[in-house]
Amino acid sequence: MTINRRWTIRPVRSGLAAALTLGLLLTSAASASAVPAVGSAGGGTVLGGVDLETATVLDLQQAIDRHRLSSVRLTVFYLNRIRSLNPRLHAVIETNPDALQDAAASDVHRRQHGARSALEGIPVLLKDNVDTKDRQHTTAGSFALINARPARDAFLVQRLRAAGAIVLGKANLSEWANFRSLTSSSGWSGRGGQTNNPYVLDRNPCGSSSGSGVAAAANLATVTIGTETDGSIVCPSGANGIVGIKPTLGLVSRAGVVPISAEQDTAGPMTRNVTDAAAVLSVIQGVDARDPATAPAGPFVGRDYLAALNKNALQGKRIGVWRGGIGDNAEVAALLDATVAKLRSLGATVVDNVDLPGLDDAFNNEFPALLTEFKHDINAYLAGTPGSHPADLAGLIAFNQANADIEMPFFQQEIFEIAEATSGDLTDPAYLQQRATATGSARAAIDTAIATNNLSAIVAPTNNAAWVTNLQTGDDFTGFVSSSGPAAVAGYPNITVPAGYSQGVLPLGMSFFGGRWSEPTLISLGYAFEQATNVRKPPTFLPTLPTLAAASTGSTATATTHHLW
């Protein structure tokens, strides 16, 4: 197998020529190329009089309709910005060689027929575990899949393209969605290297959807797509100061997404504001015959989440507060206290210290169940993906051993090996008991808390301050904060919104989660909180924090082992 070890950040010129063949005006393309140079603070983000840092997709649609922008101009801007910033961020593995041609086609479609959706002409980056059938690769960050050739787009990509969105490229990720090693560094892949947090570059971006989170935060695309099994949409969203939505299991099809587990995996939007996340989720939801889990979503997939945006949504709502994921992190506890006060000031009734009974049973059974599911699901994915690549998990393990210099220079593949030792049999009684206990306990915990306290949603901190990346020792979970588990294991929705900063620099998020199919409520609550607080600020691209003392999270907790998939 021939391995191309280089990233594929393609030059703008070849794609621009393709766009011009579709009749695009030379003057439009030339003005689009005149993007301000990216300096130490990230460069200019104003294009056609529109500040892309603060504009929503609705603002962009208006600007394009008024001929202040075009899809081609947006796409060239982002391709140039990726070329300028990605050497520091390692957030993008490759760009789409057809992006500008697709953008030109979108501009033509708009002129002739109007916009197909709020995403018409909008550049989107996909996590590199989402299949595309075009000239891009889908590798989960691993050279083992460099010669894989998916036969079709993932269902969610089909939905994006049908809505007129432009697939800009593939975002870096924790290789194999962080389900390879017990001592990995989040954000590292063999193909993409180590993704860096744009607020402080030596800090970790968290979670496996690291490239998607960093790319959205650093404005390398209008919107991005991430995936989550447990924490990998919400944690990188929180750590990178953006909005992330982990939908109800089955609302978004997983067909064409490199799996960990069909029982917990889902894709979702990662964006700079709630409006954009609502627009993306409205497009990518849908019932898909290739993913049986989407069948129950039938009554819910027609919802327009933009209609849920209500800045007064917190008035009269009952919000529970779960403190179980904070541990001893005093800094995050203080932020939660401030959030509670803000929710009350916005008219919500807050029920503090809500209990989620039975979570120990859920968490104790989650990982053993995932191991069996991963072996089964990754083998099925590989068997159904054309191209030259390992045939199964055992083949992936052998590939990594044979290519240890590029695949295992920093950490090994213990999770792969533990998963391979399982039966991979989804009819095994021991496995079935593990999954039933994990999912059932998590659902019962959330459902009971909501019913007992008559809640609209539960709020909890998303993350602690990002730790210093260390490829030799892996992720540092000292003082770790995470609230992703209950909703992730239950298959219930979760939205995180920027809520504050550690030391005024490192982002901290706040999560709202609730019962099955409760996306409209959660989006409305997240939007009301976002509009009332206006917390988010652009990244600063600091090389490091000024002093070692400043790196403290204020926590007295000791390091423990966690995983974000």
Q: Which residues are catalytic?
A: 127, 208, 232
Contact 73/19 with Cβ under 8 angstroms?
no
CA separation for the pair 65, 286 (Å, rounded):
28
Going by C-beta distance under 8 Å and a sequence separation of 6 or more, which residues neighbour residue 252? 156, 266, 267, 268, 281, 284, 285, 286, 294
* Cα-trace Rg, the chain: 22
Half-sphere exposure of 432 (CA within 13 A, CB side): 5
> Which phi and psi (to 5°) does residue 168 adopt?
-80, -30
Instruction: Specify the 3-state DSSP secondary structure of 350.
Output: strand
With residue 124 as reference, give the H or E element that holds it: strand 123-127
Amino acid at residue number 28: S
**Cβ atoms within 10 Å, residue 437:** 18
**Cβ atoms within 10 Å, residue 561:** 10
Q: Residue 66 burial (CB < 10 Å; 0-12/13-18/19+)?
A: exposed
Tokens found for residue 198: 């744009």
Give the burial string for 43-60 (b: 16+ CB within 10 Å, else e): bbbebbebebeebbbebb
CA separation for the pair 468, 465 (Å, rounded):
10
Going by C-beta distance under 8 Å and a sequence separation of 6 or more, which residues neighbour residue 258? 129, 130, 131, 138, 140, 145, 176, 177, 378, 381
Tokens found for residue 59: 């603002």
Q: Tokens 């809505």 label which residue? A: 163
Residue 554 DSSP class: S
